[in-house]
């Protein structure tokens, strides 16, 4: 008998590929742009919006929007019997741990450097997947890990002076990366038999409501009318960074092993660096170019088919 939470009850999760299929690559490209550009946008929003108010409002409204879309497209938003503890755990790691820590980290770090620290997630993700999911750690994945973190190391090494001056910000971003990685592993370890859109909506809503309540208790004295660009950033976060990108990311996580999805995410901070350069005046150098080559090489290693696959 199949348990109510088994992955076979959810058609979207039935097939897992060893590398990203064509749909996964398209979704990854969209996520890289959507989340990458959001790093400098978040800095703009945080200049006028308190951090808990920022994340709580976007998550709560985004979760409600995703559940509404699920209903409109014929998907049932009903939570399966006995699945609430799993949903709460997935929301606590993927949503609360990640979102609360990154906004406090970004208050003291440049957006590009904050993105790099946040995207140390694959290191934690691969270690946790080998431990908790018993995923095979192949030579191809090892090469991707070496290339990816060579790129991240180049970028972080160039900013050690900035990072050492803000240890709380660094700790927040590394903690956020760990919670995100743990959440990705738990999505695979504790599957919930729901369509991806409904699953994403409930995760966002269950995580967003307590953050919004905390904002009401702690930040109402900091609320004031917004100028255009922070208001635009809020709208961008609601519809692009949360509703679309979270849905697309969960689809990718369910398509491939954690090691592949984790390393694939490294392309996003490159867009974050480019966004910081374009919108915030941050100036990368040769280290960024070499790091980009390493990270794109890591993406190719874990995503492109090998000779045997072809």
Q: Express each pLDDT in 208-220 by its tens digit.
A: 999 999 999 999 9
Rounded CA separation 236/93 (Å): 23
pLDDT digits (tens, 9 = 90+) for 151-172: 777 767 666 666 677 788 888 9
| Sequence-separated (6 or more) residues with CB below 8 Å from residue 41 | 233, 236, 237, 241, 275, 279
Please list, in sequence order, all residues whose beta carbon lies within 8 angstroms of the beta carbon of residue 270, skipping any fewer than 6 positions away: 32, 36, 291, 292, 295, 296
The model's pLDDT over 168-225, given as tens digits with 9 standing for 90+, comes to 888 898 899 999 999 999 999 999 999 999 999 999 999 999 999 999 999 999 999 9
The mean pLDDT value for 296-301 works out to 74
What's the confidence (pLDDT) of residue 272? 65
For the four alpha carbons of 151, 121, 15 and 30, in that order, the dihedral sign comes to: negative
Percentage of residues in the chain having pLDDT higher than 90? 47
Query: Which two structure tokens, joined as six digits, stand for 116?
Result: 């790099």
| Calpha distance 137→60 (Å, rounded) | 37
CA angle 277, 283, 285 (to 5 degrees): 120
pLDDT cut 70: percent of the chain above it: 82
Tell me the average pLDDT of the chain. 83
Identify the weakest region by mean pLDDT among 72-76, 130-134, 256-260.
Answer: 256-260
Tell me the domain boundaries of the chain: 17-303
The pTM (predicted TM-score) of the whole model is: 0.82
What is the Cβ-side half-sphere exposure of residue 236, based on CA atoms within 13 angstroms?
19
3-state helix, strand and coil shares in percent for the chain, rounded to the nearest 5 = 75, 0, 25
- The DSSP code for 166 is -
């Amino acid at each position: 008998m199949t348990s109510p939470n088994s992955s076979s009850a959810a058609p979207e999760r039935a097939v897992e590929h060893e590398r990203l299929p064509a749909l996964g690559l398209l979704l990854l490209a969209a996520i890289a742009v959507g989340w990458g550009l959001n790093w400098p946008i978040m800095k703009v929003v945080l200049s006028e919006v308190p951090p808990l108010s920022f994340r709580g409002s976007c998550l709560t409204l985004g979760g409600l929007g995703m559940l509404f879309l699920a209903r409109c497209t014929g998907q049932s938003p009903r939570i399966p019997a006995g699945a609430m503890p799993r949903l709460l755990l997935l929301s606590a790691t993927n949503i609360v741990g990640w979102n609360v820590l990154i906004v406090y980290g970004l208050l003291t770090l440049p957006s590009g450097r904050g993105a790099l620290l946040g995207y140390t997630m694959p290191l934690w993700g691969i270690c946790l997947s080998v431990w908790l999911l018993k995923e095979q750690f192949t030579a191809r994945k090892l090469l991707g890990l070496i290339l990816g973190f060579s790129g991240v190391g180049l970028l972080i090494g160039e900013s050690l002076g900035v990072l050492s001056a803000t240890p709380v910000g660094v700790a927040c971003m590394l903690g956020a990366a760990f919670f995100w990685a743990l959440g990705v592993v738990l999505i695979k370890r504790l599957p919930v038999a729901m369509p991806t859109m409904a699953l994403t909506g409930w995760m966002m809503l269950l995580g967003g409501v307590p953050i919004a309540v905390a904002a009401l208790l702690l930040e109402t004295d900091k609320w004031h009318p917004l100028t255009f660009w922070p208001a635009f950033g809020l709208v961008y976060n609601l519809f692009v960074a949360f509703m679309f990108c979270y849905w697309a990311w969960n689809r990718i996580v369910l398509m491939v092993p954690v090691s592949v999805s984790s390393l694939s995410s490294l392309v996003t901070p490159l867009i974050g660096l480019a966004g910081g350069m374009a919108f915030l005046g941050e100036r990368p150098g040769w280290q960024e170019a070499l790091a980009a080559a390493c990270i794109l090489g890591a993406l190719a290693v874990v995503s492109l088919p090998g000779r045997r696959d072809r």
